[in-house]
């Protein structure tokens, strides 16, 4: 074992290493708290000065992460900064930055590449660099490897490079950072060894794979599996609806089979930072190999069409009440991408709002987790959440249930809304003012 590698592994095992986390969002912040909690000194780096100031003041900006946890971390040595030169202080550098799609639905690698370019002048021997952002197979090898070696460092000898995909499920109380198994692939066997040493103190189960490419593909398979199955059940929903069958009843019944079936439920479209995006990372990369991923692309097509399907159902419902969508007042219930969180990334609710507005209706929203519509890269609404009560509900021509938060009073909604478009299967019993979507 080389001296550099063995020294770094020992520092990680004895918790003497400094952990640097670049990107302090939904992935980076829980990881910071975990490493801090088990006794590592953690340095957080983020380009957002407002975020940095909040964290250093002991305040959280993510609803399901309490401020008292952040305050405890800052008191016990955690520090956030926007100064990339301080990466030299870290023994491990974990990159947790976004990998969205551009307007052509191609991978936007600018966050990963710009971050790596900002870090590379300050990388030194005896460090491990781990990319956690979801990406296409080959990214670590093709993009990070040449960049981190530009100054003369040699990966596998005096610098170690790994890919370990993030796995997180905001709002799911059954799992936390520690209990979600961690896949780790290294550029070389020595890199993999260091990667295992990096994550073993913090995560209950580390799952080593043979390469960074295998780890990158593992993450894509996990999310494509979900995207394809959700696409299937969304298509089944449309067929079942046309046949007068309740798809939610059917999925519940099928789920009683104790083998060979996993229940997936339909909805208004895909949301979050992974499932609507990740399949396109693989379809884009597959083209380089002359392959056309028809199955994956078809599910993407079905899922992308769901917001329009919901709006079509809204138009049908208003029609039955002798109203046009144009000129109507419509309230969208829930704009986070999934229930019980404040995460707005890729939320289909926002697309539903835009479609409704584009057809000439006045659109408002209500979401107990999102009091003010946030600044988003591509979507702009100057709105605040409407408080739900008998009067406010009756003031709209229709309400569209897009995200089924537990904090909604569903009985109140059913009683006082003139028309409800239910895209989540909340109301199972037929009612005159409820339309399934």
Read off the pLDDT of each residue in 252-272 and give the average, rounded to a whole number.
94
Span of 153-162, 294-303, 330-339 with lowest mean pLDDT: 294-303
pLDDT for residue 327: 97
Closest CA to 411 of 403, 420, 402: 420
- pLDDT over 80 (residue 379): no
Separation of CA 225 from chain center: 15
pLDDT band at 278 (very low <50, low <70, confident <90, very high): confident
pLDDT for residue 2: 76
pLDDT band at 229 (very low <50, low <70, confident <90, very high): very high
Rounded Cα gap, residues 436 and 430, in angstroms = 9
pLDDT band at 378 (very low <50, low <70, confident <90, very high): confident
Residue 29 tokens, joined = 């912040």
Say if pTM beats, i.e. exceeds, 0.95: no
pLDDT in tens, 141-175: 999 999 999 999 999 999 999 999 999 877 777 88
Closest CA to 315 of 352, 271, 266: 352
Residues 6+ apart with CB under 8 A from 192: 162, 184, 185, 186, 208
In whole angstroms, how far apart are CA 364 and each of 103, 333, 396? 26, 9, 9
pLDDT band at 381 (very low <50, low <70, confident <90, very high): very high
DSSP 85: G
pLDDT in tens, 100-111: 888 888 899 999
**Percent of the chain residues past pLDDT 90, beyond the cut:** 89
pLDDT for residue 276: 76
pLDDT in tens, 343-353: 988 899 999 99
Read off the pLDDT of each residue in 300-328 and give the average, rounded to a whole number.
96
Read off the pLDDT of each residue in 53-82 and give the average, rounded to a whole number.
95
pLDDT for residue 274: 75
DSSP 378: S
pLDDT in tens, 10-55: 999 999 999 999 999 999 999 999 999 999 999 999 999 999 999 9
- pLDDT over 70 (residue 422): yes
Which region holds residue 23: left if phi is over 0, alpha if psi is between -120 and 50, else beta?
Answer: left
Strands 398-401 and 434-436 turn out to be unpaired
- Whether 3-210 shares its CATH topology with 305-436 is answered yes
Mean pLDDT, rounded, of the chain: 95
**Percent of the chain residues past pLDDT 70, beyond the cut:** 100
Architecture field, domain 3-210: 3-Layer(aba) Sandwich (3.40)
Which residues are part of the catalytic machinery?
274
Sketch the domain layout of the chain as residue ranges: 3-210, 305-436
Alpha helices in 255-365, H assignment, sequence order: 278-288, 294-304, 306-320, 348-358
pLDDT for residue 191: 98
pLDDT in tens, 166-216: 998 777 778 889 999 999 999 999 999 999 999 999 999 999 999 999 999
Rounded Cα gap, residues 429 and 408, in angstroms = 18
pLDDT for residue 172: 79
Which region holds residue 134: left if phi is over 0, alpha if psi is between -120 and 50, else beta?
Answer: beta
- pLDDT over 70 (residue 1): no
Looking up tokens 């953690």 gives 42
Read off the pLDDT of each residue in 302-325 and give the average, rounded to a whole number.
96
Read off the pLDDT of each residue in 61-66 and give the average, rounded to a whole number.
90
Closest CA to 318 of 362, 281, 354: 362
Domain 305-436, CATH: 3.40.50.720
- pLDDT over 70 (residue 237): yes
Alpha helices in 188-305, H assignment, sequence order: 189-199, 212-242, 247-254, 278-288, 294-304
Residues 6+ apart with CB under 8 A from 25: 62, 96, 98
């Amino acid at each position: 074992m080389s001296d550099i590698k063995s020294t770094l592994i020992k520092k990680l095992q004895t918790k003497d290493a400094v952990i640097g986390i670049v990107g302090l969002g939904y992935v980076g912040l829980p990881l910071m708290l975990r490493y801090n909690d088990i006794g590592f000194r953690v340095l957080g780096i983020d380009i957002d000065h407002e975020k940095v100031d909040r964290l250093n003041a002991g305040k959280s900006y993510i609803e399901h992460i309490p401020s008292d946890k952040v305050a405890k971390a800052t008191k016990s040595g955690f520090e956030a900064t926007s100064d990339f030169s301080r990466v030299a202080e870290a023994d491990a550098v974990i990159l947790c930055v976004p990998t969205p799609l551009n307007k052509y639905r191609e991978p936007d690698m600018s966050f990963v590449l710009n971050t790596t370019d900002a870090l590379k002048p300050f990388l030194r021997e005896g460090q491990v660099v781990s990319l956690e952002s979801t990406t296409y197979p080959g990214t670590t090898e093709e993009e990070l490897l040449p960049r981190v070696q530009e100054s003369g460092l040699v990966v596998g000898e005096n610098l170690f490079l790994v890919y370990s995909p993030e796995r997180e499920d905001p709002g799911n109380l059954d799992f936390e950072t520690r209990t979600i198994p961690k896949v780790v692939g290294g550029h070389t066997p020595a890199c993999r060894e260091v990667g295992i040493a990096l994550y073993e103190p913090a995560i209950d189960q580390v799952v080593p794979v043979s390469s960074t490419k295998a780890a990158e593909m593992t993450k894509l398979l996990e999310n494509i599996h979900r995207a394809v199955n959700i696409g299937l059940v969304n298509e089944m929903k449309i067929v079942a609806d046309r046949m007068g069958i309740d798809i939610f009843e059917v999925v519940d019944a099928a789920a009683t089979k104790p083998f060979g079936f996993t229940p997936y439920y339909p909805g208004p479209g895909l949301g979050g930072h992974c499932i609507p995006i990740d399949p396109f990372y693989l379809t884009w990369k597959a083209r380089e190999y002359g392959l056309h991923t028809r199955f994956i692309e078809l599910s993407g097509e079905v899922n992308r069409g769901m917001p329009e399907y919901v709006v079509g159902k809204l138009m049908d419902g208003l029609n039955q009440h002798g109203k046009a969508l144009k000129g109507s007042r419509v309230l969208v219930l829930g704009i986070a991408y999934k229930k019980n969180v404040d995460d707005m990334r890729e939320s289909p609710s926002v697309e539903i709002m835009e479609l409704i507005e584009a057809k000439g209706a006045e659109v408002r929203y209500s979401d107990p987790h999102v009091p003010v519509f946030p600044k988003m890269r591509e979507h702009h609404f100057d709105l605040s959440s409407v408080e739900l009560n008998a009067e406010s509900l009756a003031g709209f021509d229709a309400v569209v249930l897009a995200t089924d938060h537990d904090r909604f009073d569903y009985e109140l909604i059913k009683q006082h809304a003139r028309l409800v478009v239910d895209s989540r299967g909340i109301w199972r019993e037929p009612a005159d003012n409820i339309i399934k979507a």
